[in-house]
Structure 1
């Protein structure tokens, strides 16, 4: 008889004398699983993220590339050189890194009709620079929406040409002086005259001296050095920060 064979007599004796004293690992019937131990209570915090759903594409804030519906433009190239009367189909730029941005729309008359002898001015700008401008504008908008007035008065922009007449220059600089005394930031955009003669180097230098003299008259006003762009006689941007002081307020009265 093989060693693994158990006789029917042995099985009967096992059921009678041994099996009743062996504890089953399960309580209840053979088909009933034991009740599981209760799991410890786990508190799960739900973190809610406030998603900014606003779409901030550059094309939503600037007129770019094919959206510029002009046949001929004045162009400020990537090196800040002013090039008048350039047919749009001849304008070339690296579309991977740059955009063609509408800098100044074509002037219109009181009826909204464009002047036939006036042109829009466009500029080739890097996408990084445009993104920086947009983020700055959005940040200012968020501050205004929160009622945060710590950013100070809004920025003003003045456009001048190098060959500007004396009376016109005086009028523009008076406005600039008023803005600086109010503590505003003033961006001065200088460029060649769209139509007519080109200013001499001496005339350009005199315009810059006149601007600087106004800044000196406004106590606390300074030039933001890192913001100066362009070249004398071409397209140039200079930014000044005004300061509202008691002396300036007295001058306004």
Structure 2
């Protein structure tokens, strides 16, 4: 009987003290206190834990659209090949597979000269075996020529301004106009501004005509140079004119 009473008392104590501890909800504060504050063994050995980093979008240029197809981009079964010696198209078409099988792709490539014709289902493109080294040299030369033409165009469109006094000494004027002639020979645009000094000597009508004649003779001495805008204003007062040089290659 004693054992039964002991067992009953133990069960009662279990229901009173143990069961509520398991069924009681754990608060967030308790979970925080239960979390380990020290780093994990992996972190203590120098290994970094996972972290979240914002991804940065890489700056990438859009791929250049190739105008002419090359190698496997060419889908036509048959093609006309250009003879590298005569630079003429062969009369009979060849199989693309045959041409590509004999091609050393490390040094050469198959280059389609004519674009596809989507309206013609029997279209046979004209192709050429091209040396990669020569193609690179040609492309480099083309880009350099394009760069030079752009610089040349910017130079021709640049405007040089020269201020002159109507009462300027003719020898000094000749020296100034020599520089103007150099600009015009380079194909540049020159704007000449003519005025009189407020406290300086006023030029006579003959002196003003002499200055304009000197400028006209300067323009005539440079091939293909011209007066882009004639004299605007009055001789002896504030006036201007624009000169345009010719192309250096012309």
* TM-score (norm: length of structure 2): 0.37
TM-score by length of 1: 0.37
Larger Rg: 2
**Greater relative CO (CA pairs within 8 A, separation 6+):** 1
Structure with greater helix share of residues: 2
